[in-house]
Structure 1
């Protein structure tokens, strides 16, 4: 009982650092996909924020679209008299829509007074100084028209674009840029391969297939250099390419929008200002509306809370939504995984921290629901103390992941998944400790679970013993196994760290001396203290005398190990058997965190904060939380082609870049993945925010380093 009462003194520390949760700019996308056979050509928006898109089948309206619920297009029939016209060009003048058909330039604005005969039939380029002053071209001829006159301007070369900026007309050709002042056409820049033009903050910017020309200076350190369109919007230059779009702010910072997380397809046709300070991006397959919303982390947490509860809870587990077709969330199904217990442990931890901070009834109910799923992992089969990976109703092995691992339960209605691994075990012990410490009314249930699991491991000589009476492949903490690895093989350090954390947690809450005795034996008699204290710099890819199995484990750094380490650090540090060990463990934790700092993982940084260390990269943790996309669908992502990133030579830790990309520019991934992953094929599934985002956020809230 004395050890339980001692928990009252394990309250969050007073940290010198604290993030005050103020609103930041959260971007997200609303998309409209073009029906089959519809070819996107141009778009424009008027002062009433009405958006029109010109297609090969006439002018169309984007139909209603919301975030994660894309829309389509329908014919524009608002004006019955103009609907039959064969529109060939669409633009705006004085924030009003103007149209060109085969004979006239006209508008519905200004009481319909704009109705100018066109001296050329096929408009390819158009710009206007006002509703009465237009410069047009069919690609060869350049003509100035107004209500009072018509003037053909002598010009040679193919005309690509006409732009009116700062009371000047600019005419872009394939190999030159010219300026028309109302009297003469003057060449101001020569070159080759010109495609598009913008004047941004007084700079003349030309897009080419090989990058940008900014005041005639080439710039190629860009996400994609195959430029198709340019647009100055506010303080940013927006760039469309054949591989997505990106913005460049006044400080040179780039935000890259690639893949269907952001846009319907990768080849950008046009970029324009959108409704409510958003940005419209027209692509070959549809229209994207990149929206920017002021949001606090608390509001983002509320959004992700709804995401988890509405479509990621399966039998109480924190699950993935698989089988999504074309981004339609209604088509997905909740799938099982090898790590249902682990992902649920992490979500359970988030909800336990949330309940400790807010005392909200909803948080407690969520904890109860998932805790029941965790409890059933121990009773769905006949093996005392063995935690199943997962369970599901019987008769469906043929559609479940890894069907060979599924076993029949004594209850004929259910099957359970065997071969439980060490990452499941450490996840269990992490969250049982959190619940036992922070939720008194559930302490007995959490303590029973940790005692059940650890009794099984101790009784079976430090192994998880499966249905076949043999140790599972990864559930192994026996000294002969652990110390059989060369010292620079990560599993020797990892398994030592994890089992001591698990034993300390069990001892803290059960008070059973056997767990303390076993921990001390492993630490001092079997070398586990030396193992877990080994510096990360000594963990490498070339085992010293190791067998083929050890070499396989050391081919490269396994980022799942990081997840196991850091979840284990909760019990390793907070429930240390004595102060001397606690300080040693702190050194080990900080050494590991220092190696992980380039990844800027929010969970690693905040878990390191439990040691009371002054520096734990809180700023980077907030960056992780703020920069995470709201859309957690695993869309196709590509970054390996980028020329604005500094790549590194292949290395043991698989750090491909000198600086990690923001979470909203890389694949969506859990904490056990490499944050330096550059590309990802379309997986057609949505991950849960429960373990990815809510756990670090609510841990930060519990520790008091993130305000409410």
Structure 2
């Protein structure tokens, strides 16, 4: 890749991040009318316990198995054998029947030193062939209490030493460990050791399950995890990163990880972090009853069915291909525009929105970056299509320089015309002279800056000579119209649009005072970018007029942090589109230093959210370290499913600001994209709860823009692997998933 002047930095304090292979999650929901109380794997079979009956999971349905044993409450697979147990005894699956091993109630089973052990409330047994043998020695168990030990080593016991009441057994450090309610006990040979912990205590007396993993023995409780290491008992709580402290099930994962069930979702614990999985995206319900782990998939039984989380090797390049295929297969594209989909009377339809130009701009920039990186003509074609759509938004209006928010086809679009416009005001729809189209007026400043950011970038990176002239003319017309009207966007009714105001009468007086920073930054960006590309002095004079009014200095504190009611998350997107436009062209050191001060302040506020759009923009124009590793990890954690499922994180116990960050906007935690739903470029990581009941599908262009921007500036390296399966996806599973293809009249082509 050739590094252009857009990318040049004198000093680069950042290091590129390798696009290494990682495991990407996919979700599947299998609904059940009754709670699934237990789940286990038996070879290739998925076995579930529902209402005391055993079922096999086949595809998306449950098939009842014959002859379910009575009194079964637990399922477990040990050494490739499936066990069922509970008050009715212990059973083992044998071909098409269940073989009974023990009549009495069984509370727990585990593998220990190569054998299967089981426990009742008071005793422990070893499985020998087809029967359980009590391991109690002939003289009974001994006590670890030294006052009971005689000089010759014998013990005189007034009462026999009891193991129970036993709730769970587990093998750790070559020794059987017993969990009583609120107490951990060790069976060391024939000695019941009630004093095995030298340091620390369990986090709660309300204990649930145990799991041995290497050097650690985990104990789940209602106040966090107890962790035994040797003779030391540690505690893992919300302040340590545990999302939910009220833990229940513990299951060994497939990659040195541990899966934890709670009544508020499932948790994956890794050596270096935590993954939280909740309803509705990952699980049918938050109340987890049982977890089973396969080679590359995890099965989570809940009160409303099973959540299946499968893992597949991915690279970020492959993930970008997935989202490009998603846009195509789900029919997000129409006439060069990119659209959100929504559920309209049971069908997916494209939303003709309040900001079609802004949404399409992100895709235009993504494909422009991609073409600059790869030289892929298909990417250039996509960019050119989106560019033509952006041109149309200005050409569809009868006034040169006035842009539309969106365009509706009377003959081809379905669903409903939006009745709301800017800021919740009534929509302003206007018909074209031929009556084929309606265009939406009252364009806002966010639409305007999106045009300049994306069109200027397309001009620089992907346009042919004709398109370069069209891009210049597009910018010339819009900027000229705004300047001719004293820095105001005048609508069809002869009045300023609600938010299309960059004039000092608005920005430097009380009514528009709060917008002086971001709107001033936008005006500086689009006026100077137009001058830089056209060379026309009138735009340079307009730029200097803005500076004389103090607009440059006002940009320094453009990012608002207080009061909370004045924080508009979409303003961050507008500001960074303006930074990316202005700083590409403005080279004067004195003026540039003012805008860099603004960027420095803004990035420090946004840094805790770890969103690549902010980090990459900062690194591109400062050359400074911008925590690229965490920004790239953010991209890895995007979900493949773009349906906006509900999500909830406000109930979690790990809501704290990570060390090294300050929350200037009141956010409690930067939530991973895995734990939310796919959102637009103006996304906020500090929003804890959201979703629209799965009734909307978001276009994933935010990922594409950020990924290809990272590739363009060299922040993300191309994958080293040549394996096609790690560089692209098979999208056949997405066929006929979304909206119906658009069949109305075509868009005019501008030459």
TM range (shorter): 0.7 to 0.9
Deviations 1:354-392 (A, max 9, x none): 112112122122112222322221233434321111122
Report the TM-score, using the length of structure 1 for normalisation.
Answer: 0.83
SS in 2 for 1:614: coil
Equivalent of 2:553 in 530, 537, 546: 530
Identify if the C-alpha distance between structure 1 residues 541 and 384 changes in structure 2 by more than 3 Å, giving closer, same or farther: same
Identify if the C-alpha distance between structure 1 residues 683 and 373 changes in structure 2 by more than 3 Å, giving closer, same or farther: farther
Q: Where does structure 1 lack aligned partners over 5 or more consecutive residues? A: 1-6, 65-71, 543-553
Q: Tell me how far 1:349 sits from its aligned partner.
A: 0.6
RMSD: 3.5
User: Which aligned pairs between 1:199-598 and structure 2 lie closer than 5 A?
Assistant: 199-215=212-228, 216-221=233-238, 222-233=242-253, 234-250=255-271, 253-276=273-296, 278-311=297-330, 312-323=332-343, 331-394=347-410, 399-403=416-420, 404-410=426-432, 411-441=434-464, 442-485=467-510, 489-524=513-548, 526-532=549-555, 534-535=556-557, 541=562, 555-576=565-586, 578=588, 580-598=590-608
Identify if the C-alpha distance between structure 1 residues 8 and 150 changes in structure 2 by more than 3 Å, giving closer, same or farther: closer
Distance 2:594 2:133 in 1: 85
Q: Tell me how far 1:399 sits from its aligned partner.
A: 2.6
Distance 1:500 1:61 in 2: 65
Q: Where does structure 2 lack aligned partners over 5 or more consecutive residues? A: 137-160, 197-201, 421-425, 719-751
Distance 1:638 1:310 in 2: 29
Identify if the C-alpha distance between structure 1 residues 609 and 199 changes in structure 2 by more than 3 Å, giving closer, same or farther: closer
SS in 1 for 2:94: coil
Distance 1:683 1:654 in 2: 27
Q: Tell me how far 1:476 sits from its aligned partner.
A: 0.3
Distance 1:686 1:158 in 2: 52
User: Which aligned pairs between 1:657-696 and structure 2 lie closer than 5 A?
Assistant: 657=668, 660-684=670-694, 685-690=696-701, 692-696=702-706
| Alignment pair present for 1:44 and 2:44 | no
| Residue pair 2:521, 2:575 contacting (<8 A) in 1 also | yes
| Alignment pair present for 1:23 and 2:20 | yes
Distance 1:249 1:677 in 2: 24
Distance 2:381 2:463 in 1: 15
Identify if the C-alpha distance between structure 1 residues 503 and 536 changes in structure 2 by more than 3 Å, giving closer, same or farther: closer
Identify if the C-alpha distance between structure 1 residues 161 and 451 changes in structure 2 by more than 3 Å, giving closer, same or farther: same
Deviations 1:219-277 (A, max 9, x none): 432311221211233533322111112233345x322222333222211112232123x
Identify if the C-alpha distance between structure 1 residues 56 and 165 changes in structure 2 by more than 3 Å, giving closer, same or farther: farther
Count of residue pairs the alignment pairs up: 660
SS in 2 for 1:213: strand
Q: Tell me how far 1:608 sits from its aligned partner.
A: 2.4
SS in 1 for 2:566: coil
| Residue pair 1:32, 1:62 contacting (<8 A) in 2 also | no
Identify if the C-alpha distance between structure 1 residues 86 and 384 changes in structure 2 by more than 3 Å, giving closer, same or farther: farther
Report the TM-score, using the length of structure 2 for normalisation.
Answer: 0.79
Distance 2:209 2:621 in 1: 55
Q: Tell me how far 1:286 sits from its aligned partner.
A: 2.4
Equivalent of 1:706 in 699, 712, 716: 716
Identify if the C-alpha distance between structure 1 residues 653 and 341 changes in structure 2 by more than 3 Å, giving closer, same or farther: farther
Equivalent of 1:119 in 103, 108, 113: 103
Deviations 1:537-565 (A, max 9, x none): 8x5647xxxxxxxxxxx843322222111
Distance 1:595 1:186 in 2: 54
| Residue pair 2:207, 2:220 contacting (<8 A) in 1 also | yes
| Alignment pair present for 1:656 and 2:667 | yes
| Alignment pair present for 1:599 and 2:609 | yes
Deviations 1:504-544 (A, max 9, x none): 121222232221121122222x2223323x3468x5647xx
| Residue pair 1:76, 1:83 contacting (<8 A) in 2 also | no
SS in 1 for 2:395: coil
| Alignment pair present for 1:174 and 2:181 | yes
Identify if the C-alpha distance between structure 1 residues 132 and 427 changes in structure 2 by more than 3 Å, giving closer, same or farther: closer
Identify if the C-alpha distance between structure 1 residues 55 and 364 changes in structure 2 by more than 3 Å, giving closer, same or farther: same
